Every structure is written in C-alpha cells, then in structure tokens.
Amino acid sequence: MSDSSALIARLRRLAADTGATQAAATAGDAWLAQGLSRAHLHDIYAVEEADGPSGAGFGIAQALAARALPLLWLRTAAGERAQGRLHATGLIELGLPADSLMLGIVADESALLRAAADAARCTGLGTVLVESVGRAPGFDLTATRRLMLAAEASGVTVLSLRIGAEPTPSAAATRWGVAAVPSTALDQGPGEGAPGLPAFDVECLRRRGGPAGQRWRVEWDRDAKSFRQPPLSGAGLSLAADRAAARHPAAFVRRAR
C-alpha cells in the first residue's frame, strides 16, 4: 500500500471513530430531553442520605420527561420516617399533576420488593418509583432481574431510588448518582435574585452497552418537561471546577458492576 493510500485509510478510520464517539455522546445525553428509556429498570443513588429528596425529584422529573405517567411511589414506613412525608407543593412545583401520583407505604423491605414486582407488571402504570433507605440487601441481582423482566414485558418504567446505600450489582439498564446543588439565581424580572430552577448534579455510573462516567449539572424545566444545561456548563463536562465554585465538594461514589 502506498503512503498516500495508507494515509487515506487512516483518516477514514479516524473519521469513523469520531462519528461513533459523537453518536454515543448523543445517545448518552438523550435523557436530558426524553427521560430515561421506558420499559426498563434504572437505579438512582442519592450520593448522600441528605440527597434523598434530590434523588426523588430526579426520578419524578424523569417520569415527566418520558411522559411515563401515572406514577406509583412505593416506600416503607421506616423510609417515610427517615425521609419525611411527601410535600405536595414541592411535587406540584416539579410539574407532577396531583391525579398522576399514587403512594404506597408498606411494612418492610420484603413487602416493598413484592409490591414493586406486582406493580411492574401493571400495564396501567407509567412509572414505579421504588424508594429504599440504607443497605437494602434484598435488592440483589435476582430481585432486580425480576423487576427488569417485568418492566420489559409490561412497558412500565421502574426507578429504584437507593438512599444512603453503596452501589451494588444490579440488572438495571442504567445507574445514576444524584446530588443536590445550589440553583442559579434569577437574574431578571420581579424575582431577580430569588432561587431559580431545581438543580441536580448527575453522574452516569453505569450504562448497559454504552459509555459511563459522564457528569452533568442540570436544571429541571417543568414547563418544557425536560432538563437543560445552565449557562457555561456543557454536556458530559467534568464539574470539578464548577463544584468548587459552588462550594459543594464532590462525593465519592464507588462503582459496581
């Protein structure tokens, strides 16, 4: 092969690799506007226990972005004591209609898993948000496989919200770490200086068959029913400097396969 032919072949390979990388990045950012893929199980980890409300807000926003309503929220009585009762005004502020939410409170983790498995088979639901607090060893590979199979069969999206827990092996299609960050203050209008849209620091910890490790700082726009990047923040951009500026230090999250 001549030098010119070899150079052309190399340039073609580079172009193909660049196109594949851009396609993967685009697919990785799809959740910003369209929500997480429906008919699958997704894990959402609140980085710290105090980030539980942010993890729940992220899950609700995903259901809204994917138009996957109504939403059934399952939690244990102990979890409700730890995290507090749902705040109706806050849910409405996120854009969740009151008639699109059902709440189920069960006795313990075993009952939570049984209720989640039954709900995941219910084709009348759009999303099942399963909240667990602490280690929750019952959410193992076997249990999560059942939830994933039920979701795929029914078309229901199942979001496993894990609060105050280390990531563990799971059959989920994706795994996300979510933490609260300060919202961007309004810079104009009568509310100038007031807190702006709800903001989240989101990291893709695992994605089946795709890249992981990307991080976003996003705001939830309830009117558009989608996430958006705040000014000066790019998709997949490392937020180390941004976090330092916000005085919100990064939390270590251990990844698990």
Tens digits of residue pLDDT in 187-210: 766 656 677 899 999 999 999 988
Q: Is residue 142 part of a domain?
A: yes
The band of 28, judged by pLDDT with boundaries at 50, 70 and 90, is low
Please count the CA atoms within 13 angstroms of the CA of 128 that sit on its side-chain side: 32
Phi-psi region of 142 (alpha: psi -120 to 50; beta: other; left: phi over 0): alpha
The 10s digit of each residue's pLDDT in 125-157 is: 999 999 999 999 999 999 999 999 999 999 999
Q: What values do phi and psi take at 180, rounded to 5?
A: -80, 145
Mean pLDDT across 51-73: 97
Q: Which residues pair with 127 in a beta bridge?
A: 71, 157
Q: What is the average per-residue pLDDT within 16-43?
A: 70
pLDDT of amino acid 239: 36
CATH code of residue 229: 3.40.50.300
Flag whether 257 is in a domain.
no
- Per-residue pLDDT, averaged over 28-43, amounts to 91
Sign of CA dihedral 11, 15, 21, 25: positive
159 band by pLDDT with thresholds 50, 70 and 90: very high
Tokens, residue 166: 């280390």
Average pLDDT of 26-55?
90
**Enclosing domain of residue 88:** 3-246
Looking at the domain assignment, is residue 254 inside a domain?
no
In-domain check, residue 108 = yes
For residue 30, the model assigns a pLDDT of 86
Residue 168 within any structural domain of the chain: yes
Average pLDDT of every residue of the chain: 84
How many structural domains are present in the chain?
1
pLDDT for res 244: 33
Q: Please classify residue 113 by burial: count the beta carbons closer than 10 Å to its beta carbon, then call 0-12 exposed, 13-18 middle and 19+ buried.
A: buried
* pLDDT tens sequence across 218-235: 999 999 999 998 865 444
**What is the distance between the alpha carbons of residues 114 and 117, in angstroms, rounded to a whole number?**
5
Question: Could you tell me if residue 93 is inside a domain?
Answer: yes
Residue 83 lies in a domain: yes
Report the interhelical angle of 141-154 vs 109-120 (nearest 10°): 30
Whether residue 100 lies inside any domain: the answer is yes
The contacts of residue 59 (CB under 8 Å, 6+ apart) are 44, 127, 129, 159, 161
The DSSP bridge partners found for residue 162 are: 45, 132
DSSP string of 115-140? Answer: HHHHHHT-TT-SEEEEEEES--TTSS
Rounded to an integer, the average pLDDT of 98-119 is 97
